[in-house]
Amino acid sequence: MLTEMDQNKTPLFDALKAYNKSKVIPFDVPGHKHGVGLPEFAEYVGSKVLEIDVNAMECLDNICNPIGVIKEATDLAAAAYGGDYAYFLVNGTSSGVQAMIMSYCHPGDKILIPRNAHKSAIGGIILSGAIPIYIQPEIDERIGIAMGMSMEKVRIAMDEHPDAKAIFLINPTYYGAVSDVREIVKLAKKRDMAVLVDEAHGAHMSFHPELPIGGIQVGADMSAISTHKTGGSLTQSSLLVLNNEKLDVQKVKSIINLTQTTSASYLLMASIDVARKQLAIRGEELLEKVLELSRYGRDKINEIGGYYAFGKDLIGNPGVHDFDETKLGVHVKELGLTGYGVERILRSKYNIQVELADMYNILCIISLGDRKESIDALINALREIKEKYGKPGRGKSIITPPLKNPEVIISPRDAYYSIKRVVKLRDSIGEISGESVMAYPPGIPVVTPGEKITKELVEYIEALKAQKSMLQGTEDPYVDYIKILGMNS
Ligand SMILES: Cc1ncc(COP(=O)(O)O)c(C=O)c1O
């Protein structure tokens, strides 16, 4: 039984340390040969980092076909999250999201998916040839950002598309909102639909009872987890956890191997091994402190006045079944400030880097590495920013996107492979889009490849541009031009 495994063990990390101790003479790659060939870098980062930057070999197993220490380490990771099987990922959760979609969807299969899914999900849809059936997330009109999905919309989508192979969930959203994952899993099981969970922002959640529940814990079939974001491991390292005896784990392996490097970094993988141990053994105690700091920071920021540090008070609003308090989002609009502006001032004047800013909010991630001093620095900086730069009542008005579901004319995959041409944004009305336009806020694609571009959408993009919101996705960085399907006439 995986659940009875000894989580104090770190099989991969131990094997790596044993390899280093044995002073092997390396005639294999990487060519820096334990750092000797890159002394300037070794001196700065520390020689050990390069001594354990090695490639696959018998004693260290191989990520492409784990049967040794990597398999032992991934079994421990699966057990820690309550799953049956796990894979290490060295290209972040993006690769896990793509593997999940490709594991369940063949070309032409439907997948129910929130419209605010990360671009890696659109990538998974293009790679698999799946047909996305979008569910519009709820938008909080006060703070201007997308939340989770309401059960009503989930039920309608499931009833209208009972043949969908899977439903995709974000648990939690970037800003911390959580849909009713347990209920969605129940409904999906009744319809024989798989539940695929994007837990890029939820690596820590399964380890403290006061945090929202992890997808695997309530029976989701697969979860892609960015251990590198809030779980403590190194950037790029993630997990794909499987929870379904019916799922062919070898098929999932071959899907991951389609795009995965054959030279995975042992630094990244070993960091997951140690981070998993820390979460499993000390997670609750460590996350208790993280929650204390988050609550302290949130309360103090709200006491300043003018700012709104939102959190569990959003629970019960549409699309917010639960909330991850470690996401400290602060709404700054009522002080006549923009999130982008506050982000810049925090960095340039206070040496503070936030995770994300949008037109109306900033987002600070509170995690295992935070201390009270850093929270106090943030509180004091926000207090001063209010005094020096605040102009209460002069905030920009919130623009919300047209909430109609897009008209999908051809599949994102077919659109991706079609011939395209570039036109001025205004001239694209009535055409089929050849690329995506993403808007922050609210973090929802305005249009994705294969969808009809309407006048309403173009006007929404123009309004966002006028407000200097961040738009992404088109080859043209300013979104004055967009690619549409079809040849030049
Ligand atoms: C919701 C969501 N899913 C997936 C990803 C991709 O995760 P990674 O950066 O680990 O590839 C992100 C990245 O920010 C994300 O926000």
Domain 284-389 has CATH 3.40.190.10: no
**Ligand 1 centroid – CA 345 distance (Å):** 26
What letter would DSSP give residue 427? G
Does the Cβ of 72 fall within 6 Å of ligand 1? no
Query: Over 60: is that where the pLDDT of 1 sits?
Result: no
CATH architecture of the domain 2-280 equals 3-Layer(aba) Sandwich (3.40)
Does the Cβ of 317 fall within 6 Å of ligand 1? no
For the residues 331-345, what does the mean pLDDT come to? 95
CB within 8 Å of 68: residues ≥ 6 apart: 15, 58, 59, 60, 61
Q: What is the pLDDT of residues 10-27, one digit of tens each?
A: 999 999 999 999 999 999
Instruction: Give the separation between CA 222 and CA 238, rounded to whole angstroms.
Output: 13
Residue in 95, 118, 125 to alter for ligand 1 test, most ligand atoms within 8 A of Cβ: 118
Instruction: Give the separation between CA 111 and CA 381, rounded to whole angstroms.
Output: 44
b/e 68-95 (16+ beta carbons within 10 angstroms → b): bbbbbbbbbbbbbbbbbbbbbbbbbbbb
In CATH terms, the superfamily for domain 412-485 is Orn/Lys/Arg decarboxylase, C-terminal domain (3.90.100.10)
Domain boundaries, the chain: 2-280, 284-389, 412-485
Q: What is the pLDDT of residues 226-265, one digit of tens each?
A: 999 999 999 999 999 999 777 899 999 999 999 999 999 9
**Ligand 1 centroid – CA 118 distance (Å):** 6
Share of the chain above pLDDT 70, in %: 98
**Ligand 1 centroid – CA 136 distance (Å):** 19
Beta bridge partners of 125: none
Q: What is the pLDDT of residues 358-405, one digit of tens each?
A: 889 999 999 999 999 999 999 999 999 999 999 987 777 777 777 677
Does the Cβ of 83 fall within 6 Å of ligand 1? no
